[in-house]
Structure 1
């Protein structure tokens, strides 16, 4: 199991959390399995940005983002160099520190422009 430290998020995880994830699990699934209800409007199909996270530690242990994910991330609120879509970031053996941004853009709800 791999440790994921989730930094405090005002609504989803006010106290922060330390969770364990099976390598091969997406960060999104790991959060959901531990009752951290991160949005995932496109059902984890890499078609929105609602599950955007910033990997504060362990970013380089993840497989590089594919082109489709990079294209989606360009539309994410608060994009940073170590941003990922949590549905596409697969946990390996390296511990991660994850920050869930304060805001999200839900293109499924708000309509694509």
Structure 2
């Protein structure tokens, strides 16, 4: 099992969390399985940016992002060099530290009341 440290997020994980994930599990699936309700509007099909995370430690242990993911990340709020879509980034054997950005862009829900 690989350790994932989730940095505090005001709404989704106020105290932060330390979770375990089997190698090959996506960061998104690991978060969801451990009660961190990260948004995933496209149901993890790599069609939006709502599951965007910033990998603060362990980034180089992840497989490189494919072109579609890179294109979508260009539209993510708060993009950083170590940004990934959590639905596409599979955990390897190296521990990770991830940050969920404060905001997300959800084209489906934006402007809805």
TM-score, normalized by the shorter chain, greater than 0.5: yes
Pair 1:39-2:36 in alignment: no
Q: Please report the RMSD computed on the Cα atoms of aligned residues, expressed in angstroms.
A: 1.0
Cα drift, residue 87 of structure 1:
0.1
> What is residue 101 of structure 2 aligned with on the other side?
101
Pair 1:73-2:73 in alignment: yes
SS in 1 for 2:108: helix
SS in 2 for 1:64: coil
Cα drift, residue 63 of structure 1:
0.3
Cα drift, residue 89 of structure 1:
0.3
Question: TM-score, length-normalised on structure 1?
Answer: 0.96
Gap regions ≥5 residues in structure 1: none
Whole-angstrom CA distance in 1 between matches of 2:95 and 2:31 = 14
Cα drift, residue 84 of structure 1:
0.1
Question: TM-score, length-normalised on structure 2?
Answer: 0.96
SS in 2 for 1:5: strand
